[in-house]
Structure 1
């Protein structure tokens, strides 16, 4: 690991422990040249997979697209960034546990909506309105009635 201070390639691991999120390892390192310390994180590399879009085009999975959609739907709602990130992690775990190489974007959207419904009903309706392309107020009302009936 290259030292961020002097650029030396020889560094030593002084301490290793699980990071707070439990999905990575936190390592304290020390440079053999300048003796300064720094922290690195080691995480398991996820197997890349492909998302099949509505128009049948394929693109690499991109977590930031899910993040943007959820953050927009949760705008001005009473939840912390940590809670939202935990939700996104749950969604991603559900997707990865499917152990597929390709997944339709519609399946990802359904997973997101399913998780959002339990997380925050207003955020769910906001997300669903964009995802399902609601055309009028009646479509909103139908979705809200479904929530109220459950």
Structure 2
């Protein structure tokens, strides 16, 4: 592993243990060249996934990009960070177990929205506003209206 401080490629692992999410390994590393210490995380990757964008462009699946977008939608929400990590790991496992290496971005968005809807409706709406490219307040209103159950008729 290359040292992020000096670029030396000969670093040493000083400590390894399961990370808090229990789906990755946390490694403390030491660089003998500069004395720098840093942490790396190692995750199992079942297969290399490729995202097919709506434009047709192909790019490697990036778990960190998925995590950033989900965490942005959950900013300032009362959600336990461990629960977010579990949700992200579940989404990635689901994508990897689909049996396909090429996954349309639309499918990823749908899976993320399903997961968010189960955890927090505000985060769900936030994510949807970007995913569905809301352009005006009416778009939010229409989307939220679809979330609400129909009101029973009032008797007069």
Q: Quote the offset at 1:56 in angstroms.
A: 0.4
Q: Quote the offset at 1:41 in angstroms.
A: 7.9
| Counterpart for residue 145 of structure 2 | 145
Change (3 A) 1:25 1:116: closer
Cα distance in 2 for partners of 1:103, 1:62 equals: 12
Q: Structure 1: 5+ residue runs without aligned partners?
A: 1-6, 28-39
Q: Quick check: 1:54 aligned with 2:54?
A: yes
Coordinate RMSD, CA, aligned = 3.1
Once the two structures are superposed, residues 82-106 of structure 1 have per-residue CA deviations (whole angstroms, 9 ceiling, x without a partner) of 1111111111121112110100011
17-26 or 47-56: bigger deviation: 17-26
Change (3 A) 1:8 1:139: closer
Q: Quote the offset at 1:18 in angstroms.
A: 7.2
* Runs (4+) off by over 4 Å: 16-22, 24-27, 40-43
Once the two structures are superposed, residues 56-112 of structure 1 have per-residue CA deviations (whole angstroms, 9 ceiling, x without a partner) of 010111001111111110011011221111111111121112110100011101110
Change (3 A) 1:62 1:140: same
Cα distance in 2 for partners of 1:129, 1:8 equals: 44
| Counterpart for residue 100 of structure 1 | 100
1:134 is paired with a residue whose SS is coil
Cα distance in 2 for partners of 1:23, 1:138 equals: 41
Aligned length: 131
**Equivalent residues in 2 for 1:1-150, closer than 5 Å:** 21-23=21-23, 43-149=43-149
1:149 is paired with a residue whose SS is coil
TM-score relative to the length of structure 2: 0.69
